[in-house]
Amino acid sequence: MISGAEAHRIAKALASVADWTSEIVVVLNDDVKDGTDEIASSFGAKVYREPWRGFIAQKNSAFAKAGQPWILGLDADEVVSPGLLAEIIHLFEETLDRSAYSCPRRSFYLGRWIRHGEWYPDRCVRLLQRNKARWGGIDPHGRLQIDGQVGALHEDLLHYTGESLNQQVAKTLAYADEFARHCQTSGRQIHCVDLALRPAWRFVRGYILRGGFLDGWQGFAIAWMSAFYTFLRYARARETQRKYEP
């Protein structure tokens, strides 16, 4: 696990793994002062304080500190459900014939479990062999690079986002800036058609085609925020692009 100031929720995540894992490794941002380190230590975690270097470098650092051949990656706002735990135990009792395993992630958002749209099943690779996986890609949206096949688990990892709309908008702005920087450094050109079509398609895909409308007003909010984020990231990239045009 990598973590920032998460004293308000990290205990629930660690409690879901403390009784059945061989070790817990937490790489904590060195500026955290809210007691997250003390809570993690109370669950027997090995806590390492490091300066923040981005998601990818931080997660690879946590991988490097793990001493077991298999790793379960977890965020501070995630909980291993009883069903997922039973499925993992059964997997280790049988044959582990894949390099990694993904599981569906179910999010609790604004008072409701989300079961449709773009947020579910939201498959994430969480269980993996340490020597066959590494984080790559571009911050903040890193991707696991797996050497071998990925199997599929079926029970849910529980995700307690705890985000208000204000928090979600603030995160969206930061992610849009990251995307704009990536487009600038990679030379990717953004056109007006991207701004016109991509946000609309994101809304239609999530809300209608993937059944987001079945999740009430929360599903509507997710679809609109996803469309807004899509527009914002391409608009910011286009804005940055225009600044450097002759």
- Report the chain's C-alpha Rg in angstroms: 19
pLDDT in tens, 68-87: 999 999 999 999 999 999 99
At residue 30, the 3 state secondary structure works out as: coil
Measured between alpha carbons, how far is 2 from 74 in angstroms, rounded to an integer?
8
- What does the pLDDT read at residue 177? 81
The most distant pair of C-alpha atoms in the chain lies apart, rounded to whole Å, by 63
| Residue 110 shares a structural domain with residue 194 | no
Q: At what angle do helices 216-243 and 192-203 cross, to 10 degrees?
A: 170
- Looking up tokens 């009883």, which residue turns up? 82
115 and 22 housed in the same domain: yes
74 residue type, one letter? L
DSSP lists the bridge partners of residue 143 as 136
In b/e form, how buried is each residue of 124-159, taking b as 16+ CB within 10 angstroms?
Answer: bbbbbbeeebbbeebbeebebebeeebbebebbbbb
Whether 147 and 72 have beta carbons less than 8 Å apart is answered as: no
Residue 198 sits in the same domain as residue 233: yes
**Pairwise CA distance, residues 40 & 7, whole Å:** 9
Same-domain check for residues 201 and 83: no
For the entire predicted model, the pTM comes to 0.87
Considering the domain architecture, whether residues 235 and 155 belong to the same structural domain is answered as no
Mean pLDDT (the chain, rounded): 91
Residue 208 pLDDT: 97
> 174 and 134, same structural domain?
no
CATH code, domain carrying 60: 3.90.550.10
Q: How many domains does the chain have?
A: 2
For residues 69 and 186, state if they share a domain: no
What per-residue confidence (pLDDT) applies to 206? 97
**Domain range for 179:** 165-243
- Residues 19, 92, single domain; the answer is yes
Q: How far apart are alpha carbons 80 and 88 in whole angstroms?
A: 10
**Residue 54 and residue 87 in one domain:** yes
Q: Which of 114, 144, 71, 69 is nearest to 221 (CA)?
A: 114
> Which two three-digit tokens encode residue 130?
């340490």
Burial environment of residue 116 by CB neighbours within 10 A (0 to 12, 13 to 18, 19 or more): middle
Q: pLDDT tens for residues 172-216?
A: 787 788 788 878 878 888 888 999 999 999 999 999 999 999 999
The answer on 43 and 70 residing in a single domain is: yes
